[in-house]
Structure 1
Amino acid sequence: MPNSFGEMLLNWAKNLSTETYQRSLFLLLFIWFRRNKWVFENAWDSDEALLLRHSRLVADFGEYTEKIYGGTSPPSEPVGRPVWTPPPHGSVKVNVDVAISEDGWVGLGAIARDDRGRVLFSAVSRSRARWEPLVAECKAALFGIKKATEKNLGNIILEVNSLMLVSKLKKGSFSLAAVRGGPN
């Protein structure tokens, strides 16, 4: 049983040609973009438009990699942290993330799990805003903490994917209070 989405993709790709694997990944990417367009812009691209853009991108990617790198290589091991790790016994881990669209929408997401991996809550929020990425990450952190507090959860461990935010908070050179204003 794979421990991460990356491992699952690699297991799945073992029996695929490099070309089929890359085409499949591009298709997944376009499906994800279409989903985000629906969620954040309430717009839906037709299947035909999605497949046409997919075909163009795959062709362009193939030409580019051939020209620059002399071709493509088979899939390799995923990078980054492979697995979500549970918090210590008696703690709650709140993971937060943010999505920023070019047309002024910001999506915030939070999910809390206990030490056994059980989901305690999940929440999303969408706002019309033009925040810098660091401010948006802070808003997501505050959003997650606020939701956890509303659920009377204690011993919270906050997990964000902004290295800059983590670094500033650890150094004490930044306060979440600085971004409290606004819709969240």
Structure 2
Amino acid sequence: MREWVEDVMRELDEQEITVFILGVWAMWEMRNKVVFENKVVQIDGIVKRVRELMREMDELEEGCLQSAEKGKSRVIAQGVAEQRRILGGYEVVVSVDAGVKEGMGMGIGVICRDDTGGVLWGWEERRRQEFEVRVAEVEAVLVGLRWAMKMKHRRVRVETDCKDVIEALQGNTCGRSDFHIVIKEVLDLRSCFDFVTWSHVSRNYNRAAHCLAHSCTLGGGNFLDGSTMQGRSY
């Protein structure tokens, strides 16, 4: 069963995993209604409940819920985060981003967090080369995975806000372009880990890696430990 779940999780992005977990949550709630209240809920009731939970989580993030409902939704949100970690099977989340500016080369930012969201380490570098944006983005994924391997992480979830990269990695896309050459390097690197999965996230959720990629200066790169990262604001 776990292997099946892990295979499924590799194909889902962050939003789809959330919907999956909330669906299971809603079905469990409806199951309890049948067992303890003798109330049968149809499938449309489950769908409605999933939508309600998603709306409550969105409102929680925006700070719009009343205090009474906020506590309930926070418990749900924490449960979803924990189940996302368990079902996803990852040990750390590696968030990456690249920034390309004409005349300024390419910047790469990497942030690694543990399963509670705590920052473990980061990496920033700027190169003189100027790549096509999607090539730079997948190069950032490659750098992030290489650092995860160097730090001896075995189960990794990689997050990027570049949808082209995620679609290519999930589809095992082949080709002869610079983009596909780096995609192949990334896919080949998976064998160095017990588990690797890819996830597309919004720019807002990738803000820390984005800031590193766009603020770093030319040089050989800069490794940032967790304590250094905690002192930064994004």
Structure-1-length-normalised TM-score: 0.49
Higher helix share: 2
**Which structure has the higher relative contact order (CA within 8 Å, separation 6+)?**
2
Structure-2-length-normalised TM-score: 0.39
